[in-house]
Amino acid sequence: MKKLNVAIIGQGRSGRDIHGRYFLSEAGKALYNVVAVADKIEARRERAVKEYGCDVYEDYRELLKRDDIDVVVNSTFSYLHYPVTMDALRAGKNVVSEKPFSKFAIECEDMIRTAKENGVTLTVFQQSRIAPYFTRICEIIDSGKLGEIAQITIHFSGYSRRWDWQTSRRFYGGCLLNTGPHPMDQALHLLNTDDMPNVFSVLKRINSAGDAEDYAKVILTAPNRPLIDVEISPADAYNDFTYRIHGSRGSLTATLSKIKWKYFDEKPMPELTLEPLTGPDGLSPAYCSEKLNWNEFEEDLTGSPFDYAPAKYYENLYNHLTNGEEILIKPEKIVQQIRVMELIHAQNPLPTWC
């Protein structure tokens, strides 16, 4: 089996601990060779030589001059995703861009156009769309057993305080561009419309040192679609779910590792009555209620967005580049996400000071 040669630009938390971790796994080694790494920090370059046995570069542009690289992974700072990806595409390289794709839709469209002009593949590392918990949630919704879906609530919350570059708007930090691409990608996938949804949003800064938001509340609506409520909060010490789904015949609650859901079999709605309801004696007042026979399920999930999902993502990329398999994460779909997030930032202007 032919292996593809990979270059990783950036050896921070994503470049090393997510992408690099996959490429050093048995599954990763079977499909890819890391032949080059670029990073500004000398100690990280030295570590990369030991871990990958690859060539290293301080300036990523030197790396792009090589003609033996099949895939470039762009895991730089968020504000560098656009210029670095453009350089790699112009050098004729297939590119995996970390999220966020960009802060601006016009830059996303520019990258997509440049990839097509150079005959290369461009994809965005939105691996949570193929994480086990989300795949299973989609299967349950698609089964129809929950009935018509009225509301989907997505929580990517917890309690934390931050003071790193992800809290600086100058670096394209903030929870919307950092954490947000995962729930927003899932939300728009579930909304399933190419049209721009209606967007209500609130951004706040609660528990961070910089000038970027760390709290986001986003409500998305579209005709004949469920209302989707996305919340990212650094101040939720009691957060106990990632997903809540309200359907006409059932409900679902889920974390990244467990799903609980229940539904009742088809049962006609009793006819409307405007007469007072009474109890068995025909006289005592009664509350409008009925007994439903619930089918209840609990499922434990294996695999996470940080092991199973990257493996699935890179297996698909390998098959796309070697066998023409359809790419799972198309950049054209991510542009919609960036347009929505641009609107959210416009609805919530914040001063930039760091």
* pLDDT per position as a tens digit, 23-68: 999 999 999 999 999 999 999 999 999 999 999 999 999 999 999 9
As a whole number, mean pLDDT of residues 282-292 equals 90
Conformational region of residue 174, where left means phi above 0, alpha means psi within -120 to 50, and beta covers everything else: left
Query: Does pLDDT of 208 surpass 90?
Result: yes
| 134 class by beta-carbon count within 10 Å (0-12 exposed, 13-18 middle, 19+ buried) | buried
- Please name the residue ranges forming H helices in the chain: 13-14, 21-23, 26-31, 42-52, 60-63, 81-90, 105-117, 132-143, 175-178, 181-191, 308-323, 331-347
Q: How confident is the model at residue 351 (pLDDT cuts 50, 70, 90)?
A: confident
Structure tokens at 221: 């609506």
CA dihedral for 60, 166, 169, 194, sign (positive or negative): positive
Q: How confident is the model at residue 352 (pLDDT cuts 50, 70, 90)?
A: confident
Q: What is the DSSP pairing of strand 71-74 with strand 55-57?
A: unpaired
Angle at 142 between CA 140 and CA 148, to 5 degrees: 95
Mean pLDDT, rounded, of the chain:
96
Query: Does pLDDT of 305 surpass 80?
Result: yes
**244 near 156, Cβ under 8 Å?**
no
**259 near 241, Cβ under 8 Å?**
no
Q: How far apart are CA 152 and CA 50, in angstroms?
A: 46
| 39 class by beta-carbon count within 10 Å (0-12 exposed, 13-18 middle, 19+ buried) | buried
Q: Can you tell me whether residue 91 is helix, strand or coil?
A: coil
Percent of the chain residues topping a pLDDT of 70? 100
Q: Quote the pLDDT of residue 1.
A: 75
Q: How far apart are CA 291 and CA 134, in angstroms?
A: 31
Q: How far apart are CA 299 and CA 259, in angstroms?
A: 5
Q: Quote the pLDDT of residue 310.
A: 95
Q: Quote the pLDDT of residue 179.
A: 96
Beta bridge partners of 122: 95
Nearby residues of 283 by Cβ (< 8 Å), 6 or more positions away? none
Query: Does pLDDT of 261 surpass 90?
Result: yes
Query: Does pLDDT of 354 surpass 70?
Result: no
List, for residues 229-255, the tens digit of each pLDDT value.
Answer: 999 999 999 989 999 999 999 999 999
pTM score: 0.94
Q: Enumerate domains of the chain plus CATH numbers.
A: 4-125 (3.40.50.720), 129-306+337-347 (3.30.360.10)
CA distances from 5 to 56, 116, 126 (A): 14, 21, 21
Query: Does pLDDT of 156 surpass 90?
Result: yes
Return the biggest CA–CA distance within the chain.
88
Q: Can you tell me whether residue 37 is helix, strand or coil?
A: strand
Q: How far apart are CA 266 and CA 284, in angstroms?
A: 30
Q: How far apart are CA 231 and CA 157, in angstroms?
A: 7
As a whole number, mean pLDDT of residues 69-74 equals 98
As a whole number, mean pLDDT of residues 211-240 equals 96
